[in-house]
Amino acid sequence: MGNVTVRRIDDTAQHNARLAAAANRRSLEAELRDLIERTYAPAGIDRAARLRALSASEKIAHLCKVAGGADIDRFIPARESEDIEFPEL
């Protein structure tokens, strides 16, 4: 796979790309990778390329979305507040 460096991007365009990335719950790099792959990749590998572009947390979020959601609270016991005494240094 190749690497690309893009310089001198308009501040507004970069800001809007960051907002789009945040809305899609992924990094700016993953957002731009997805955009490039959707735009220029052959149609047959479009879905696979988009899934590969996701970070680990994005993959988990995608799987939860595809599965119709996940009730994580059911599997993780609630934390009880506890008073922790820290030693003085």
Q: For the chain, first and last CA: distance in Å?
A: 50
d(CA 4, CA 33): 10
pLDDT of residue 53: 73
The pLDDT value recorded for residue 7 is 92
Record the pTM: 0.49
Other C-beta atoms lying within 10 Å of the C-beta of residue 53 = 21
Contact 61, 25 (CB under 8 A): yes
Q: How confident is the model at residue 51, as a pLDDT?
A: 74
Cβ neighbours of 33 (radius 10 Å): 19
Nearest CA to 47 out of 37, 57, 62 is that of 37
What pLDDT was estimated at residue 26? 86
Q: How confident is the model at residue 6, as a pLDDT? A: 87
**Residue 71: per-residue pLDDT:** 64
Give average pLDDT by consecutive 10-residue segment, the chain, 89 residues: 86 92 87 82 67 75 72 65 74
